[in-house]
């Protein structure tokens, strides 16, 4: 049973607009969440994280929001740029530091 | 500035061959992981290690084996490759403190013919 879910396989956004990528989780014990960006045939790179004691974390154009009651988090990218086109994974570690990943959302930013 | 290295990047081999995918990190991390990922799918944990001489199987059943003789080195071996092993293999590491993130290598894209 998947503990981290990304229900949108793909998203297309115009350059300069906001991209919103969503992620849901089922394990209420998760207290730390991460977003990774991945290009084809490369390894994922860390983008931004959030601890469950916060509901928002911002880093430049990237903001992650956490809604614990809904077990939902989202990544906002604004303004979106063509270089942001990639697959985005959300992830969460369990207490044993094993990380669970969603299936990813492929973002295409159209120039 | 990659601190975790995987070789080879790409590998095409025939069925039945034995292969070893190399992974090394220079960050002194205790925890190392192997993930398998196919397009449109989540990253599946196949092996992990919390330190030297410690290895465990992950959630996804795998016919591969791993070893951890040195902190910095975590190779993965397939004794007899099959077409079903075609996938991207990602090595990662993390530190000891809480709320640590995973650092990934560039991955090995394996194709078994």
CB-based contact B38:B87 (threshold 8 Å)? yes
Give the Cα separation of A95 and B30 in Å (integer).
16
**Is A45 touching B (CB cutoff 8 A)?**
yes
Residue A29: CA count within 13 A, CB half-sphere:
9
User: B106–A98: do the CB atoms touch at under 8 Å?
Assistant: no
User: B43–A49: do the CB atoms touch at under 8 Å?
Assistant: no
Residue A7: CA count within 13 A, CB half-sphere:
7
Token pair of A73 as six digits: 């988090």
CB-based contact A38:A87 (threshold 8 Å)? yes
Token pair of A109 as six digits: 């930013």
User: B106–A89: do the CB atoms touch at under 8 Å?
Assistant: no
Give the Cα separation of B96 and B45 in Å (integer).
19
Burial class (CB in 10 A: 0-12, 13-18, 19+), A64: buried
**Is the pLDDT at B98 greater than 70, yes or no?**
no
What is the per-residue pLDDT for B42?
87
User: A43–B100: do the CB atoms touch at under 8 Å?
Assistant: no
User: A43–B104: do the CB atoms touch at under 8 Å?
Assistant: yes
What is the per-residue pLDDT for B1?
52
Q: What is the pLDDT of residues B61-87, one digit of tens each?
A: 778 999 999 999 999 999 999 999 999
* pLDDT tens for the 111 residues of chain A, in order: 789 999 999 999 999 999 999 999 999 999 999 999 999 888 999 999 999 999 999 999 999 999 999 999 999 999 999 999 999 999 999 887 789 999 999 999 999
Sheet holding A4-5, edge to edge: A4-5, A19-25, A72-77, A62-67, A56-59
Q: Which residues of A touch B109 (CB under 8 A)?
A: 41
What is the per-residue pLDDT for B58?
87
Longest Cα separation, chain A: 42
Q: Where are the beta strands (DSSP E) in chain A?
A: 4-5, 10-14, 19-25, 32-38, 45-51, 56-59, 62-67, 72-77, 86-93, 99-101, 105-110
What is the per-residue pLDDT for B67?
95
**Is the pLDDT at B59 greater than 90, yes or no?**
no
- The angle subtended at Cα A76 by Cα A71 and Cα A80, nearest 5°, is 155
Bridge partner residues of A12 (DSSP): A108
What is the per-residue pLDDT for A98?
84
The residue to which tokens 């969460």 are assigned: A92
Q: What is the pLDDT of residues B7-28, one digit of tens each?
A: 999 999 999 999 999 999 999 9
Interface probe for A, chosen from B29, B37, B49, B109 (most Cβ of A below 10 Å), is B37
């Amino acid at each position: 049973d998947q503990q981290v879910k990304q229900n949108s396989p793909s998203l297309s956004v115009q350059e300069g607009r906001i991209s919103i990528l969503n992620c849901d989780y089922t394990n209420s014990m998760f207290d730390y969440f991460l977003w990774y960006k991945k290009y084809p045939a490369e390894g994922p790179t860390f983008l931004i994280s959030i601890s469950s004691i916060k509901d928002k974390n911002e880093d430049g154009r990237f903001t992650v929001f956490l809604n614990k009651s809904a077990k939902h988090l989202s990544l906002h990218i604004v303004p979106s740029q063509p270089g942001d086109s990639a697959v985005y994974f959300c992830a969460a570690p369990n207490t044993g530091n094993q990380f669970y990943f969603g299936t990813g959302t492929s973002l295409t930013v159209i120039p | 500035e990659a601190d975790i290295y995987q070789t080879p990047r790409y590998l095409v081999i025939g069925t039945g061959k034995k292969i070893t995918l190399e992974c090394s990190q220079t960050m002194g991390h205790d925890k190392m992981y192997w993930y398998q990922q196919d397009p449109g799918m989540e990253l599946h944990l196949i092996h992990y290690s919390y330190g030297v001489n410690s290895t465990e199987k992950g959630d996804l059943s795998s016919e591969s084996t791993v070893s951890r003789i040195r902190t910095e080195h975590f190779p993965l071996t397939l004794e007899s490759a099959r077409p079903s092993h075609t996938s991207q293999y990602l090595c990662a590491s993390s530190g000891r403190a809480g709320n640590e993130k995973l650092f990934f290598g560039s991955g090995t894209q394996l194709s078994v013919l």
